């Protein structure tokens, strides 16, 4: 029933020819370069939005309009939300308290699990630029459901959920430019990565499978630019890449 309503909605949105945004910039417009990217992004965004409506922790911007000729999708713009990148790449985590940050990371884990469960898809590019946070909100927002450049297959998002988990762990613990690698050594990062795992496995910590995470980390490092980066190569040999301290419930 739900799936039927979703597909009707896509047709309705799709068939409309959009006019330029007239409402003073309350939208965020995204132009895709290829037809298949436009379609995949639109379907993924609508699917995720439906999932978010049933979620406690997840928010996804609504699709306001989609123009198949211009390959453009207009989203509700989330004002006052910050990409998680800004928080992580700031030396003092933008002065948020440890408790607030731990809660935010827990919520990101819980929201990711909801996305996986409700859509039966993975995000596929679960990077810190694609997660928006707002300290006063109980939810976190996920954006950018466009297939990433390193996606080899059109059904890239039907893959192992541990790939999203691994991408996030790598980004939090190791994605720093060489001249700012000291940021990776902040001890709070370990606590935040663990809070994320606790959020994801909140219903059943025993479901966590360390070897699945290990495999997914290897795959992400092999398949994406993260392994090529200086930090990827350097940090791989250090204790930062240990995952035995990421077991939820410890």
Binding site for ligand ATP (CB under 6 A): 28, 30, 61, 75, 77-78, 83, 129-130, 143-144, 146
In terms of CB distance, is 129 or 222 closer to ligand ATP? 129
- Asked if residues 222 and 236 have their Cβ atoms less than 8 Å apart, the reply is no
SS3 call for 76? strand
**Site stretch for Mg ion (CB under 5 A), options 32-40, 139-147, 213-221, 237-245:** 139-147
Tokens 């996305």 correspond to 115
Residue 144 interacts with Mg ion (CB under 5 A)? yes
Complex with Mg ion: residue 104 or 130, whichever CB lies closer: 130
What is the closest distance, in whole angstroms, from the C-beta atom of residue 183 to Mg ion in the complex? 21
222 binds, among Mg ion, ligand ATP, none (CB under 5 to 8 A by kind): none
Q: Tell me how far apart the alpha carbons of residues 232 and 226 are, in angstroms, rounded to a whole number.
A: 6
Give the contacts of 186 (CB within 8 A, at least 6 positions apart): none
Dist. CA 14–CA 213, nearest whole Å: 38
Q: Among 109-117, 144-152, 181-189, 196-204, which window interacts with Mg ion (CB under 5 A)?
A: 144-152
Nearest distance from residue 36's CB to ligand ATP, in Å? 15
Distance CA 110, CA 209 (A): 17
Site for Mg ion in 106-135 (CB under 5 A): 129-130
Element (H, E) at 91: none
């Amino acid at each position: 029933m739900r799936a039927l309503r979703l597909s009707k909605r896509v047709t309705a949105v799709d068939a409309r020819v959009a006019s330029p945004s007239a409402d003073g910039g309350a939208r965020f417009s995204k132009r895709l370069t290829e037809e298949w990217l436009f379609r995949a992004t639109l379907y993924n965004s609508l699917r995720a939005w439906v999932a978010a409506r049933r979620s406690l922790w997840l928010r996804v911007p609504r699709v306001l309009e989609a123009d198949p000729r211009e390959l453009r999708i207009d989203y509700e713009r989330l004002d006052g939300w910050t990409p998680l990148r800004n928080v992580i790449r700031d030396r003092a985590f933008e002065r948020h308290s440890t408790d607030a940050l731990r809660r935010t990371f827990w919520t990101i884990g819980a929201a990711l699990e909801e996305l996986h469960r409700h859509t039966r898809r993975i995000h596929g590019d679960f990077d810190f630029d694609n997660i928006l946070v707002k300290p006063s909100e109980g939810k976190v927002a996920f954006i950018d459901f466009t297939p990433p450049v390193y996606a080899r297959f059109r059904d890239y998002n039907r893959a192992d959920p541990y790939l999203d988990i691994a991408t996030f762990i790598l980004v939090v613990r190791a994605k720093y430019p060489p001249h700012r690698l000291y940021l990776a050594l902040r001890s709070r990062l370990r606590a935040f990565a663990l809070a994320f795992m606790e959020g994801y496995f909140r219903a059943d910590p025993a479901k966590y499978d360390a070897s699945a995470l290990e495999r997914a980390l290897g795959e992400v490092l092999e398949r994406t630019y993260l392994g090529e980066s200086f930090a990827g190569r350097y940090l791989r040999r250090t204790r930062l890449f240990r995952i035995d301290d990421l077991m939820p419930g410890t």
